[in-house]
Amino acid sequence: MAELRYDILSGTYTIIASERAKRPNDFRAAQQHEDPVPDRDPGCPFCEGNENETPPEVHALRDSGKPDTPGWRVRVVPNKFPALRPAETAEIDSGMADIEVVPEVDDSSMYWRMPAIGAHEVVVETTKHNGTLGTYTVEDMAAVLETLKQRYRVLGDDKHIVYVQIFRNWGPEGGASLLHPHFQIIGLPLLPPEVSTELSRFSEYESKTGRCLMCDYIERETEKDERVAFKNREFIVLCPFASRFSFETLIVPRKHSVTFSELDNDKAVQLAEIFTSLFRAYEKMFSSLSYNIVFHTLPPPKRSRKQPADHWHIHVYPRLNVEAGLEKGAAVWINPTPPELAAQQFGGKG
């Protein structure tokens, strides 16, 4: 019998359709072998030697070389086709001395708009065009995470940016337009609805119980041990109780921590270890898995705003099931892989 489950973080419902009980082999598209990807692609703007194909780098971890030349390990560049632009460049382009960045609402309150001011950066994770998270060393991954944290802090300091969204699109269903492995960071001039919903769940729970929702959740999940995919000293990977996607996972710091920017060197290594274990497992189960990785963290502190309750975490959404009418139109999900089964398939436990 299928079961309807409620997700405490997003407030959405999922029908866990256990009678379909889909295992990795049941997802044929994700098991198709594609042509091998080369180590380097002369036409790829993120490959080493093609640095002049991107806007000038804003940050890089380098073994050698000057900015915008080879010799880097991780390289951060503004997106060539940004969804949002920094205030300064928008001002120059529009010829305005000081662009107005407050929303404009018409008399009917029906039309809300503002310039798409913010930031859109690309973190090129490796020089290897064919790199995958499952093939990185812990050191490689820790370097990527440290870079993400640094850019998170820099963008968070921008007075126009209210939320810094870190994400990674992978595979055609994940919306990746370039093969070369990269994270993206978007600085938004507003608090996105998904984050806002989560923050209010954290606050509600805290005012009712005096405790952190995520701390209590991971404590219960650790006790039950039915949906734990991996864990190490600092992090735990869960298959969420009301997973919306088959093989969805949630990466959470085991000790209470409100923001990703608190990640120190030791924790970056622990998180890198968890990431590489998790993605090795994904890559073993599925030969070509599309997915999205989404970081959720406390908004960067801005002077006027009271800091809400939070416990930062990372969602991994494999795009194995299609977002169809019920998902799109009602935010009710059908997941053919019970998270308990998914956790067993990962077989980690750390």
Q: Is 212 in the site for Zn ion (CB under 5 A)?
A: yes
Interface residue with Zn ion among 162, 214, 252, 274 (CB under 5 A) is 214
- At 170, give phi and psi (nearest 5°): -140, 130
Residue 165: CB minimum distance to Zn ion, A: 11
Tell me the per-residue interface mask from 296 to 325 with Zn ion, x by CB under 5 A, - otherwise.
Answer: x--------------x--------------
Q: Residue 258 Cβ, how far from Zn ion at the closest point, in Å?
A: 8
Q: Tell whether residue 44 is a contact of Zn ion (CB under 5 A).
A: yes
CA dist 88 → 101, 186, 210 (Å): 12, 16, 43
Q: Which among 69-77, 117-125, 163-171, 288-296 is the span making contact with Zn ion, rule CB under 5 A? A: 288-296
Choice from 129, 160, 182, 244 touching Zn ion (CB under 5 A): 129
Exposed e or buried b per residue across 238-275, where buried means at least 16 C-beta atoms within 10 angstroms of its C-beta: bbbbbbbbbbbbbbbbbeebbbbbebeeebbbbbbbbb
Residue 160 touches Zn ion, criterion: CB under 5 A: no
Give, for 296, the enclosing helix (H) or strand (E). Answer: strand 291-296
Angle at 72 between CA 70 and CA 76, to 5 degrees: 110
- Residue 13 sits at φ, ψ, to 5 deg, of -115, 145
With respect to Zn ion, which residue has the nearer C-beta, 118 or 131? 131
Among 22, 24, 27, 46, binds Zn ion (CB under 5 A): 46
Q: Which stretch binds Zn ion (CB under 5 A): 52-60, 196-204, 267-275, 336-344?
A: 196-204
Contact 247, 318 (CB under 8 A): yes
H-only helix segments in 286-324: none
Answer for which of 73, 128, 149, 180 binds Zn ion (CB under 5 A) is 180
Q: Which residues bind Zn ion (CB under 5 A)?
A: 41, 44, 46-47, 129, 180, 198, 212, 214-215, 256, 296, 311
